[in-house]
Structure 1
Amino acid sequence: MGRRLDWSRDGRDWPNRETSTFVRAAGFTWHVQRMGDPARPTLFLAHGTAASTHSWRDLAPILAAEFDVIACDLPGHGFTEPMAHGRPSLPGMARGLADLLAALEAAPALVVGHSAGAALLIRMALDRLIHPAGVVSLNGALTPFDGLAGRFFSPLAKLLALNPFVPRFVSASASDRAGVERLIRNTGSSIDAQGVELYRRLVADPGHVHGALAMMAHWDLDRLIEDLPRLATPLLLVVGDRDKAVPPEDARRVRRLARHATLETMKGAGHLAHEERPEETAGLIRAYAAGLGVACGG
């Protein structure tokens, strides 16, 4: 698997470091960030595949003015250890995250997920592991791949995750700044220099790459799509119309399947819309929370 990121070395200048703690739950240790007033409604943030808490570096402090904000690195990502037991499947990660929230004594009033993080939170709501007033999906990766990608992607990811040399190869080939900028550009987004450097730091680490590959290898969205019609929790689908990673049409499909879904489009934004335009993203989240009757602090 290769070395993992080390907090004392790689986390010295991590965004919002002063809010970080390490919590034992589900048999392994999680990196968690918590900010804002604990007396206010809790808002939980779940990042996407291959990201970490860094992706909320600008959005989380804005939301912390009105919420008790909690974010974590998902299993095998960033500074969180890999899952101790079982595979990082969608249901498995959902149960692990529920254990973490229990350890934190947190009952989120609103949950926000980016990309695969949105699928994770919807799975948790469907399985009644959380009971939020609403779920916000930011460019959610919620539908299975179509065509050849759907047929071959998961088996290929399994092979890549099982080969101990692959994470090192991927890290070596994608960890230069130009390579990372190219990866981000291919999502339809443009982010600041700090964001590029943090992604470079992550993909340079074989342990983080292995965590992302393992997650993709065991990520099955067919069941999620089947279950969407019974989702009782209100769902806000926020879509960047320049997203090149998840087709915007996918959100329209989800809106047709989920009974209580609404759609908001961020024009000119790509897959990392929440990093490109955190103020606008926060505004959409605040407005949705208010519409659901989730009281915010002043």
Structure 2
Amino acid sequence: MNWARDLQGWPHSETSRRIAHPPHRWHVQEAGDGATLLLLHGAGASTHTWRDLAPDLARDHRVVALDLPGQGFTAMGARGRSGLAQMAADIAALVAAEGWQPRAIIGHSAGAALALRFALNLPETPRVIGINAALSPFEGLAGWLFPVLARVLALNPLTALAFTAGGNRHARARRLIESTGSRLDDAAIGYYARLIGDRTHVEGTLQMMAQWDVSALLDALPALGAPCLLITGDGDRAVPPSVSAHAAARLPHARHLCLPGPGHLAHEEDPARIAGLIRDFLTGI
């Protein structure tokens, strides 16, 4: 996404700033006062996914949301650092440089995997909240084919151009969102339509897909001492709730809560309910 061209009209752009911290040039949004909450979006999204949840949490917290490398408005500085461990390390370096001390890390989908991996690196582990956490490796034929296919697509400079060209982007975005089991209004669909129409954003997402591997994280889950809350929607058709249930069973201090109704984008469908669950978890209720 182009900073000068596209930032105007983006949700909460008045809170946006850029941070040049190697290897990337980060887009960060900050709002509110109090204990810091760090928000990490999933693959193919951006800070816009928190447009309703973040202001609610900012009533009594300092909320920091960032775009992942190559996605949204964060300019990727190194194509080889889009894997789980590399992204978590680069986020940790940014957090340390900015002096942020998160009380909790909140991640959606792949962002939840990043939150858990990041928490493993910290001497004082913050609480972790995962929303429809993408914590399952691909199995069988898909485990072999998907990473290979993603790498081929990511290496082809024409892939993103072909993906973003032609067609009704709004209709394509709606089909994509609804395939995950979520239902969003036209304004929300419009943000995703802008993202899937942006070549740089699509290239960044493909790089993340090509390098993604959660196997080491899954092995390390029993070593994470942080309290964790894994929230799922029973309508999620992208990541089955059983994935979070299995992860919670391996984490020493975790609770899995499955909500009736919402799909993969539960925090966009019912932000007030998700905010309430987060507050209850942070206050120990």
In structure 2, what is the Cα distance between the partners aligned to 1:85 and 1:214? 7
Amino acid at match of 2:48: H
In structure 1, what is the Cα distance between the partners aligned to 2:204 and 2:167? 16
In structure 2, what is the Cα distance between the partners aligned to 1:203 and 1:132? 35
Judged with a 3 Å threshold, the aligned counterparts in structure 2 of structure 1 residues 225 and 173 are, in CA distance, closer, same or farther, namely farther
**Deviation per residue, 1:5-41 (Å, 9 max, x gap):** 212211110101111010111232111000001xx10
Alignment check: 8 A CA contact 1:173 1:179 kept = no
Match of 1:26 in 2: 22
Equivalences for 1:50-65 in 2 at 5 Å?
50-65=44-59
Amino acid at match of 1:96: D
Equivalences for 1:107-256 in 2 at 5 Å?
107-128=101-122, 131-172=124-165, 176-256=169-249
**Deviation per residue, 1:40-63 (Å, 9 max, x gap):** 100000000000000000100000
**Deviation per residue, 1:168-190 (Å, 9 max, x gap):** 11112676111110000000000
Judged with a 3 Å threshold, the aligned counterparts in structure 2 of structure 1 residues 236 and 78 are, in CA distance, closer, same or farther, namely same
- Structure 1, 252-261 or 50-59: larger mean CA deviation: 252-261
Aligned-residue CA RMSD in angstroms?
1.4
- Structure 1, 86-95 or 276-285: larger mean CA deviation: 86-95
Amino acid at match of 1:49: A
Match of 2:89 in 1: 95
**Deviation per residue, 1:75-134 (Å, 9 max, x gap):** 000110113373311111011101211232101011100000000111111122x73431
In structure 2, what is the Cα distance between the partners aligned to 1:169 and 1:27? 28
In structure 2, what is the Cα distance between the partners aligned to 1:175 and 1:266? 33
Equivalences for 1:13-92 in 2 at 5 Å?
13-37=9-33, 40-84=34-78, 86-92=80-86
In structure 2, what is the Cα distance between the partners aligned to 1:78 and 1:157? 20
Where do 5+ consecutive residues of structure 1 fail to align? 293-298
Amino acid at match of 1:252: A
TM-score by length of structure 2 reads: 0.97
Amino acid at match of 1:12: Q
Match of 1:258 in 2: 251
**Deviation per residue, 1:117-168 (Å, 9 max, x gap):** 000111111122x734310000000120122222211111111100000011
Alignment check: 8 A CA contact 2:42 2:108 kept = yes
Where do 5+ consecutive residues of structure 2 fail to align? none
Judged with a 3 Å threshold, the aligned counterparts in structure 2 of structure 1 residues 216 and 174 are, in CA distance, closer, same or farther, namely farther
Amino acid at match of 2:116: I
The answer to whether structure 1 residue 281 and structure 2 residue 277 are counterparts is no
**SS of residue in 2 equivalent to 1:61:** helix
Judged with a 3 Å threshold, the aligned counterparts in structure 2 of structure 1 residues 63 and 174 are, in CA distance, closer, same or farther, namely farther
Match of 1:296 in 2: none
In structure 2, what is the Cα distance between the partners aligned to 1:250 and 1:184? 20
TM-score by length of structure 1 reads: 0.92
Alignment check: 8 A CA contact 1:174 1:180 kept = no
**SS of residue in 1 equivalent to 2:101:** coil
Alignment check: 8 A CA contact 2:42 2:111 kept = yes
In structure 2, what is the Cα distance between the partners aligned to 1:145 and 1:184? 21
**SS of residue in 1 equivalent to 2:99:** coil
Alignment check: 8 A CA contact 1:175 1:201 kept = no
